[in-house]
Amino acid sequence: MSMSRRDFLGSSAAAMFTAGTAARSRVWGANDRIGACVIGFHGQGRSHIRNILKEDGVEIVALCDVDSQVLERGVQMVKESQGKAPKTYRDLREVMADDSIQAISTATPNHWHALITVWACQAGKDVYVEKPMSHSAFESRQCVAAAKKYGRIVLHGTQSRSNPEFIRDMRLIREGFIGKVVHSRGVVYKNGNRNPIGHGAPGPAPANLDWTLWQGPAREKPFLTNKDRDKPGLYVHYDWHWFWEYGNGEIGNQGVHQMDIACWAHNRGKPVKVTSTGGRFAWDDDGETPNTQATQFTYKDGSLLTFEVRNLGSFWEGGEEAGASTNSVFGETGYYVAQRGFFDYKNKPVEVNEELPEEQSHFQNFFSAVRSRKPEQLPVTVEDAHVACIHCQIGNVAYRIGHTLDFDPSTERFLNSEEANAMMKRDYRKGFEVPKI
C-alpha cells in the first residue's frame, strides 16, 4: 500500500526504515521497468531527463519542480519521447510516498541535495544526485550513512568517473606510472561564463514559483527581485550558487568536478590542514562567494593538493582541447595533464599503450547498479563522493574563517577553531532537517 503525503510527513524514523528495507529486497529482472522521477530540472536537470529517456527499461513516471513553468516544459519533453505524460509533483515529499517510483535523480539547488538523498533512501528509492552531494560536510556524511543503512544505490553526478580516458589514466597514476604522487592540482577558470549578478530588493516571488518550498532546509528569507538584470529574481534560477545559504561558490559548482579528479588521482583521503584565500573582486553585485580563490590542502605525509578558482578570466592552462577547467598531477618521475596525457620532467610525452575500457554513460552505470543491487558496480562510491565534497566544503570554511585550519580526518572536525566546526552543519528550518543517521 502506498504511503499518503500525510503518512510520509508524519512517519517515524522506524517506519521510514521499514519502507527502505522492504524495497531493498526486490530483485530486478532484465525486462522489469524501473520507474524514475526527476526532481528539479531548470538547468542541469534537463540533461537528466534527456539521458534517462535514452535508457532501455526505464520510464520517467513522474517529474517534480517547485516552478510550474519549468514543470510544464519538462512534461512536454517526456511526453514527446515516451508518448504519455508523467505524473507531476510540486512538493517532493509526495514523490517519496509514491511507490511507482523506484529511482530518483535530482538537480535542485545544492541546499536540497542531501535531504532529498536521505529521504529517498529512507523511502526505499535509489538516487542519482547532482554534484555536490551536499551543502555541508555533515550532510554528505549522512548521505553515506543513509546509503549504507538502507541498502540503496547512490551515485554522485561527477561524470568524469565514467569517462574511459580518466578511468584508465587514474588507474595508471595509482599504479605508479609517474611515481609517487606529491602534488595534485585542479583549476576552474570560467572565462566569459561568469559575470556580476546585480543587486536585489525584497519583492513578490513569481506566481509560478513556490518560494517557500524552494528554500526547503534553508532559513526563511524574503524573495529578492533583481534590480539590474532581466531575471525572475536575484537567486533564481542559477545565481543561488553565489550565496552561502544555498550554494557553495565556484569551488562547489564546476569546481567539484575538478576536485573529484584531483582527489581521485591524489588518493590520500582527507587532509590534515587547509588554507584558502581570495575574494570577490571587481564586480559590483550582491554575490557573497569568491570569484577568485586559492586553496591548499596538506596531507599526513606532507603531500599537497592545490585548487584555484578564477572567474574574472585567465589563460587556457590545459590547452584549448582541455578547456579552462582542468587538472594536473605531479609525481616523482613525471606528470599528467588531463586530456593532454603523461609527460616526463623534460616535458617529453610518455606514450600509453593500454586500450581504453568500454564506455558507459554515468546514467547507464547508475541503472545497471540499480538492477544488480551491487554498489561496487558504481563508477564512484558514495564515500569517495563525500571525500570530494568535503574538500570543497572545508576549503570554503577556511576561506570564510580567514586562517589556516587543522583538520582531523577521522572525526571530520577542526582542531583549532570551534567557529569553523560550527560551519560544518547548517541551522535547518523546522520540518526540513537533515537527520543524523
Q: Which of 189, 207, 215 is nearest to 327 (CA)?
A: 189
**pLDDT, tens only, 74-133:** 999 999 999 999 999 999 999 999 999 999 999 999 999 999 999 999 999 999 999 999
Q: Name the one residue in this structure whose C-alpha cell is 582527507.
A: 270
DSSP code of 179? Answer: B
SS3 283: coil
Q: Percentage of residues in the chain with pLDDT exceeding 90?
A: 85
And the C-alpha cell for 20? 527502505
Measured between alpha carbons, how far is 252 from 246 in angstroms, rounded to an integer? Answer: 11
SS3 364: helix
Examine residue 241 and say whether the peptide bond preceding it is cis (omega within 30 degrees of 0).
no
Is the predicted pLDDT of residue 321 greater than 70, yes or no?
no
Q: Which of 59, 324, 100, 333 is nearest to 191 (CA)?
A: 324
Q: Which of 160, 349, 192 is nearest to 260 (CA)?
A: 160
Terminal Cα-to-Cα distance of the chain (whole angstroms): 26
Is the predicted pLDDT of residue 187 greater than 80, yes or no?
yes
Quick count: other Cβ atoms within 10 Å of Cβ 385? 29
**pLDDT, tens only, 175-184:** 999 999 999 9
And the C-alpha cell for 271? 587532509
Q: What is the DSSP string of 403-427?
A: S-EEEETTTTEESS-HHHHHTTSPP
Tell me the pLDDT band of 29, cut-offs 50, 70 and 90. Answer: low
Q: What superfamily would CATH give domain 162-193+248-357+388-422?
A: Dihydrodipicolinate Reductase; domain 2 (3.30.360.10)
Q: What superfamily would CATH give domain 5-161+364-377?
A: NAD(P)-binding Rossmann-like Domain (3.40.50.720)
Q: Which of 346, 260, 343 is nearest to 305 (CA)?
A: 260
**pLDDT, tens only, 239-252:** 999 999 999 999 99
* C-beta separation of 103 from 109 below 8 A: no
Query: Where do the structural domains in the chain lie, given as residue ranges?
Result: 5-161+364-377, 162-193+248-357+388-422
* C-beta separation of 127 from 155 below 8 A: yes
Q: What is the DSSP string of 310-347?
A: E-S----TT-TTT-SEEEEEEESSEEEETTTEEEETTS
Q: 161: Cβ–Cβ under 8 A, 6 or more apart, which residues?
A: 167, 260, 264, 362, 379, 380
For the entire predicted model, the pTM comes to 0.93
